[in-house]
Structure 1
């Protein structure tokens, strides 16, 4: 999942469950904290998340960590870069995945519909990453966090009366490394949003959006 906020509070559309005329591989399962693959591993499989949340990370040359994306149900992870995985991939919760052989992406492996669906998913990933990097360079800390919460609210939020509730399986440091900020800045910005009564913090992993219009305005850079 990449954070992109164009002109409205909407998330990138995830890929629906991929249909295949070929026999499906057995579903894969990961426990929270387990790794699906590591950066530099050879790519043999692509995976569509069916439940749970993954975290994709890279280590920079100076040792700092960059969170590249979070994989939510419907997302496909594992696209190759020069035949290798270009991130580590760790389960933030218990995760279920549907594996697809890499050959389905490269030559269809006898299933042209699946081949086309995987290509479209790869193109969406490239577009989403470009938008995310642009957001990292152009938005303020408040705009970044508001954008992140808007996307989650739209994609995986649950109605709670007049409000919207979202669960955050990732830590504050994960969010900071995803948005190009420090953990202290993320914590301070959460506090500012809470004091403005735009959100309420039920616990460290549960956020209640009380004023979604105000949150969207912040995401779009309207701080008036």
Structure 2
């Protein structure tokens, strides 16, 4: 399977919405952001691409989102012809089908987060999503690093940046998390955070 590695600087785009899709991209390092612009000009963050993810799967031969790097990143580009002609590269075709199924699952997770009523539940669900996907264990601590800013999180979960910040403050007050620094969250009580994410627990205040 021929592939071409590409280095990306923060803010650099790989593709734009409606571009012809000639390649798909596997994230080797760093974090990508996939977005769409609504008719009224508002941005919706559709997904984040983490190491191991494949992004850029086409629909009718075109990209359905735009994609840029949040951090310095490396991706490998592979032609997406095997989606239409599986016999040309059966191994790559199987890889792309698996990536498509993963994308459906991640979108389902996103719908669950977006559909929650409480802001605290949305933010908790987002943190659990990151914990499960890219969380780190260090000295019996569960770390979640946030390469994205509060606006990115807000545009992903359907809140304002201010509400995201207030919800994080609320979760800190409830001793579910604490901040090691503005971009590193220590999950102090994963079970309670997960229960809140699943809507099984109420907090004293509601910031929605």
Tell me, yes or no, whether TM beats 0.5: yes
Moved more, 93-102 or 158-167: 158-167
Question: What is the 5 A alignment of 1:38-53?
Answer: 38-53=16-31
Distance apart, 1:133 and its partner CA: 1.9
CA 1:159–1:123 in 2, change beyond 3 Å: closer, same or farther? Answer: closer
Which of the residues 154, 158, 162 maps onto 1:180?
158
User: For residues 115 and 93 of structure 1, what CA distance do their matches in structure 2 show?
Assistant: 29
Q: 1:124: Cα distance to partner?
A: 2.4
The CA RMSD measured in Å over matched residues stands at 1.5
CA distance, structure 1, for counterparts of residue 10 and residue 156 of structure 2? 19
**The one of 75, 85, 104 aligned to 1:126:** 104
**What is the aligned counterpart of 2:125 among 138, 147, 170?**
147
Aligned pairs for 1:57-206 within 5 A: 57-108=35-86, 110-206=88-184
**Within 2, Cα distance between the matches of 1:41 and 1:178?**
22
Offset, 1:109:
5.7
The SS at the match of 2:24 is strand
The separation in 2 between residues aligned to 1:135 and 1:149, in whole angstroms, is 11
Q: CA deviation at 1:139?
A: 4.5
1:144 is paired with a residue of what secondary structure?
A: helix
Distance in 2 (CA, whole Å) between partners of 1:120 and 1:152 is 21
Do the aligned partners of residues 131 and 155 (structure 1) sit closer, same or farther apart at CA in structure 2, a change above 3 Å counting?
Answer: closer
Q: Which SS does the other structure have where 1:27 is aligned? A: strand
Residues 19-44 of structure 1: per-residue CA shift (max 9 Å, x gap): xxx3x222111111111111121111
Say if 2:198 is the partner of 1:220: yes
Q: Check conservation: 1:103, 1:109, Cα contact below 8 A.
A: no
Count matched residues: 202
Q: 1:62-94: CA deviations, max 9, x gaps?
A: 111100000001111011122211111010111
2:19 aligns to what SS in structure 1? coil
Q: TM-score, normalised by structure 2?
A: 0.91
The residue number in structure 2 matching 1:6 is: none
- Which ranges of structure 1 fall in alignment gaps of 5 or more residues? 1-21
For structure 2, the residue ranges without an aligned partner over 5 or more in a row are 203-208
Normalising by structure 1, we get a TM-score of: 0.85
Equivalent residue, structure 2, for 1:27: 5
